[in-house]
Structure 1
Amino acid sequence: MLVGLLTAVAASICYGTGSVLQAVGSRKSARREAATSGVTQHGGPSLSSTAKAAMTWEFIVGTILDFVGFGLGALAARLLPLFLSQTIISANLVITAVLSIRLLGIRLTRAEWTSIGVVCSALILLATAAGPEGSGHTPMATHWWLLAISLLLMVGGTVVVRLLGARAAILAGLLSGLGFGALGVGVRVLDGIDPFDPVALVCDPALYAILIAGTGGMYLHTVALQIGSVNGATAALVVGETVLPGAIGVLWLGDTSRPGFGWLAVAGFVLAVAGAVAVAWFGRSESEEPTPLPLPEREPAGVG
């Protein structure tokens, strides 16, 4: 349990730091693209502008941290109940909010600090209440369903986000969170890990669900950071990657709380999600938005 908790916390730090660095890179790219056709006809970022955002050094470092966080999060999902591992990892919103002070010039209000305190307290409640994780053994049909749902969410969601354009920031964040949540479920049910069996691993549809959900989730998170606030996008991601996987873990994978501590687990789960959303709600700031490029000054009439 202790190893799982430390692994989940480390994953949360990597994800939170990565999100802020990716936001810095996205905004730098947005400023460069402000005077060009870097948007679609619906007002959202074009594929080229998203690709350029991914080529900034800040975004590259943030992505490397995301990959490290992915590995740590995958290990945590195997060691802890999903409602605990995903919630701790989702606390990266707190890391994001704090680092935003330094890297994005955002000042946290008393309400934001209070919300951060609620999240930290909720995580303590969850850690106290968590019992043993379930086995993760599920019928192969469940693995196929996970692949189909991941494909539908990531491909269909990308199409909808691009159609909505600049209005899709929260939706993109939510869909990216659902993608990362599906990734967590896939890691939990994946065959061929223990004991290691490469043939079973490659033949398991859950492996391809992990690849699709992870790739799609990263793309949609990038889009959300380009068109919305970093805290707002991350809060939507928190809800997506916490609520549904936690429910799946309890209902279908056998995750449980300690005997007599079920109420504490529920209270901690609700407080963690509510606190994360509150951080984003109170943290919406104009200073987070990309600064438009200044227009060239015109010479006074009659000069020259």
Structure 2
Amino acid sequence: MIIGLLTAVAASACYGTGSVLQAVGSRKSARQEAAAASTSGVTQHGGPSLSSTAKAAVTWEFMVGTVLDFIGFGLGALAARLLPLFLSQTVISANLVITAVLSIKLLGIRLTRPEWASIAVVCSALVLLATAAGPEGGGHTPIAGHWWLLAASIAVIGGGTLIVRLLGGRAAILAGLLSGLGFGALGVGVRVLNGVEPFNLSSLLGDPALYAILIAGIGGMYLHTVALQIGSVNGATAALVVGETVVPGILGVLWLGDSSRPGFAWVAVLGFVVAVAGAVAVAWCGEPEAEAVPATAGGTHSPDGPLTDDGSAPGDDAQQPSQSLAGNRAGS
């Protein structure tokens, strides 16, 4: 249990740090597109194009953040096999706390009293969860369940990507929710994956859960990047937390046999609900951002607010980083 908790905390730290760096890289790319008066950075619906998302992904901040994401993924996968999903996913989603603290320095954000209070609530809820958590379930499930997980991952990522591109700049919350569901599916897939203990390569490669993990992980990262590029993402962050904690936590209990300590079920339920509510509050209490505007003939969509024809914000010589606790991904 202790090793699992330490692993989940380390994964949370990697994800939280990576999210802030990815937010910095995404916003820098958007400002560069705006300064160049580029019209290729958005789709006809006002959302970020594939090319603009690719440009965001090659900034050094985003690449370092992505490396931390992969490290966090590995640690999170280990935590998912050592802890009940309602505990591991919730601890990992607490990367919002890491993000909030780092945002003070890297994004120039001043945390308000409600934000600090929300952070304290999350930490208290995690203590309740750690106290109440019992042994994790075995994770041995019929292969049909693995196929259902793969089908659900394809539906969430494939269908979600199409819907998000159609909605464009209005899809921040939906993109956050879908990326959270993707990371949640990833956690479930890691838990049920065959061929790991003991290691069996043929069993591993033949398990549909492996491909569900790849699709959900890669697709979740793409949708997460899109959410970082679209307007105000506080709501998207809150939706991500709900998607990656609530659904896996419920599946862990109902499908995989996760449980609490005898007599501590109410403590586990209370801790889980309070942790999710606190994480959502951290996201929602973030300093409000300017609403995104669609691309026009003379300007370009930017998550930092309306732009003049030369790509700069009215009244400013240079745009500042977005003032928001944006872009958290708990992990997966």
Moved more, 83-92 or 283-292: 283-292
* Deviation for aligned residue 1:101: 1.2
* Alignment match, 2:43: 40
* Alignment match, 2:104: 101
* Alignment match, 2:154: 151
* Alignment match, 1:64: 67
* 1:221 aligns with one of 217, 220, 224: 224
* Alignment match, 2:188: 185
Q: Aligned AA for 2:237?
A: T
* Deviation for aligned residue 1:236: 1.7
* Deviation for aligned residue 1:228: 3.5
* Alignment match, 1:22: 22
- RMSD, aligned CA: 1.5
In 2: Cα distance, 1:40 partner to 1:113 partner: 38
In 2: Cα distance, 1:153 partner to 1:224 partner: 15
Unaligned runs of 5+ in 2: 292-302, 312-332
- Secondary structure in 1 aligned to 2:58? coil
In 1: Cα distance, 2:21 partner to 2:307 partner: 21
1:196 correspondence with 2:210: no
In 1: Cα distance, 2:127 partner to 2:231 partner: 31
* Deviation for aligned residue 1:291: 5.5
Q: Is the 8 A contact 2:231 2:304 kept in 1?
A: no
* Deviation for aligned residue 1:290: 2.3
* Deviation for aligned residue 1:199: 0.3
* Deviation for aligned residue 1:264: 0.2
TM-score (norm 1): 0.95
* Deviation for aligned residue 1:293: 5.6
Q: Is the 8 A contact 1:31 1:291 kept in 2?
A: no
Q: Is the 8 A contact 1:181 1:241 kept in 2?
A: yes
Q: Aligned AA for 2:33?
A: E
Which structure is higher in helix share?
1
Per-residue CA distance 1:160-210 (angstroms, 9 max, x = gap): 000000000011011000000000000000000000000000000000000
Aligned identity (percent) is 81
- Secondary structure in 1 aligned to 2:111? coil
Task: Identify if the C-alpha distance between structure 1 residues 171 and 228 changes in structure 2 by more than 3 Å, giving closer, same or farther.
Answer: same
Q: 1:1-304 alignment to 2 at 5 Å? A: 1-34=1-34, 35-37=37-39, 38-286=41-289, 289-290=303-304, 295-296=309-310
Per-residue CA distance 1:207-252 (angstroms, 9 max, x = gap): 0000000000000000000104454332221110000000000001
TM-score (norm 2): 0.87
Moved more, 116-125 or 27-36: 27-36
Q: Is the 8 A contact 1:12 1:89 kept in 2?
A: yes
* Alignment match, 1:300: none
Task: Identify if the C-alpha distance between structure 1 residues 18 and 214 changes in structure 2 by more than 3 Å, giving closer, same or farther.
Answer: same
Q: Is the 8 A contact 1:104 1:287 kept in 2?
A: no
Q: Aligned AA for 1:68?
A: I
* Alignment match, 2:326: none
Q: Is the 8 A contact 2:184 2:247 kept in 1?
A: yes
* Deviation for aligned residue 1:22: 0.4
In 2: Cα distance, 1:258 partner to 1:63 partner: 36
Per-residue CA distance 1:37-84 (angstroms, 9 max, x = gap): 110000000000000000000000000000000000000000000000
Q: Is the 8 A contact 2:194 2:204 kept in 1?
A: yes
* Deviation for aligned residue 1:286: 2.6
In 1: Cα distance, 2:130 partner to 2:180 partner: 22
In 2: Cα distance, 1:226 partner to 1:296 partner: 20
Unaligned runs of 5+ in 1: 298-304
